[in-house]
């Protein structure tokens, strides 16, 4: 049985990131375009491609690891695991289950880390869109109605929220987006090829479009509700956009993200 871990030169306990990195490194060296389609090199490249196809897929990897473990014990005639004794069979089954559980736990841990990283981008982005939408509808006048101390607090929250929002978006762009370039060419260079899911330009357009649509729909609805809102609380809400409205979405994002982080700790 082919040991794909040896093919990629990684440990059986390697993470998905380490497996991807090993594949990229070997692919750059063995790609047929780099080696003038030499037969031996092309054959080696096919092996690493197959190895990555199996080990790069968590479910395929779990099944493969179990098969590899069975083959290992079957080949070791001196081991108690190759015996047909009832006790040996029980120990062998326990070893299979333990190894399989390790594989599943590793897979779940990898997926959980990826999910948490994605949530750190999704929650602030959604909070930004929703807060922009509601601010456009109601057009609050908190800044106008506050005294100097209140304005200092509001301004401080705005700065903290803006820094937090920029930090979250920047980390999201770095982790999940790539600059538009040719994947085939990048794999032949000494730099890491593209493995991130979204083009950076598309993500930027999505962000700008999301804020614009939220603002536009909010203003449209706000115009219809203007008489009702203005008549109910005329001193708290404006009839038109004012510069102070830019303060509120980052503050909402900050509080929403803090609440999400607080709740996430209990889930762990």
Confidence band, pLDDT 50/70/90 cuts, at residue 187: very low
Please report the pLDDT score of residue 25 as a whole number.
85
Rounded Cα distance between 24 and 31, Å, is 10
pLDDT digits (tens, 9 = 90+) for 202-261: 999 999 999 999 999 999 998 888 766 656 666 777 878 889 999 999 999 999 989 988
Residue 184 has pLDDT above 70, yes or no: no
Task: Check residues 34 and 183 and name the one with the higher pLDDT.
Answer: 34
Residues 6+ apart with CB under 8 A from 46: none
Confidence band, pLDDT 50/70/90 cuts, at residue 45: confident
Query: What is the per-residue DSSP string for the chain?
Result: ---HHHHHT--TT--HHHHHHHHHHHHHHH-TTTTTT-HHHHHHHHHHHHHHHHHTSHHHHHHHHHHHHHHHHHH-TTSGGG---HHHHHHHHHHHHHHHHHHHHHHHHHHHHHHHHHHHHHHHHHHHHHHHHHHHHH-B-HHHH--HHHHHHHHHHHHHHHHHHHHHHHHHHHHHEE-S--HHHHHHSSSPPP--SEEHHHHHHHHHHHHHHHHHHHHHHHHHHHHHHHHH-TTTB-SS--GGGGGHHHHHHHHHHHHHHHHHHHH-
Contact 136, 87 (CB under 8 A): no
Rounded Cα distance between 253 and 166, Å, is 11
Residue 183 has pLDDT above 50, yes or no: no
Please report the pLDDT score of residue 125 as a whole number.
95
pLDDT digits (tens, 9 = 90+) for 49-82: 899 989 888 778 878 887 887 777 665 555 554 5
Contact 145, 237 (CB under 8 A): no
Residues 6+ apart with CB under 8 A from 13: 106
Please report the pLDDT score of residue 180 as a whole number.
56
Average pLDDT taken over every residue of the chain: 80
Alpha-carbon dihedral angle through residues 19, 24, 25, 26, given to the nearest 10 degrees? 90
pLDDT > 70: what percent of the chain? 76
Please report the pLDDT score of residue 109 as a whole number.
76
Q: What is the reported pTM?
A: 0.65
pLDDT digits (tens, 9 = 90+) for 101-156: 776 777 677 778 778 888 889 999 999 999 999 999 988 889 999 999 999 999 99
Task: Name which of 16-20, 125-129, 199-203 the model is least confident about.
Answer: 16-20
Per-residue pLDDT averaged across 166-193, rounded?
67
Rounded Cα distance between 185 and 20, Å, is 17
């Amino acid at each position: 049985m082919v040991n794909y871990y040896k093919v990629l030169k990684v440990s059986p306990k390697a993470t998905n990131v380490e497996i991807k990195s090993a594949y990229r490194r070997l692919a750059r060296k063995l790609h047929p375009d780099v080696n003038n389609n030499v037969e031996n090199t092309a054959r080696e490249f096919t092996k690493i491609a197959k190895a990555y196809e199996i080990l790069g897929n968590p479910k395929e990897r779990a099944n493969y690891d179990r098969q590899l473990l069975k083959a290992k014990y079957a080949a070791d005639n001196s081991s108690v695991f190759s015996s047909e004794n009832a006790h040996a069979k029980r120990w062998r089954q326990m070893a299979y289950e333990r190894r399989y559980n390790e594989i599943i736990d590793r897979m779940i841990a990898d997926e959980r880390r990826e999910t948490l990283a994605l949530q750190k981008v999704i929650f602030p982005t959604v909070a930004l869109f929703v807060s922009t939408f509601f601010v456009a509808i109601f057009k609050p006048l908190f800044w106008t109605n506050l005294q100097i101390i209140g304005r200092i607090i509001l301004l401080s929250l705005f700065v903290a929220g803006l820094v937090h929002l920029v930090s979250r978006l920047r980390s999201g762009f770095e982790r999940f987006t790539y600059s538009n370039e040719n994947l085939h060419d990048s794999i032949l260079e000494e730099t890491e090829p593209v493995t991130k899911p979204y083009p950076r330009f598309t993500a930027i357009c999505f962000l700008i479009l999301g804020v614009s649509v939220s603002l536009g729909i909010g203003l449209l609805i706000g115009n219809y509700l203007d008489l009702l809102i203005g008549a109910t609380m005329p001193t708290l809400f404006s009839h038109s956009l004012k510069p102070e409205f830019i303060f509120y979405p980052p503050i909402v994002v900050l509080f929403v993200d803090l609440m999400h982080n607080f709740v996430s700790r209990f889930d762990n």
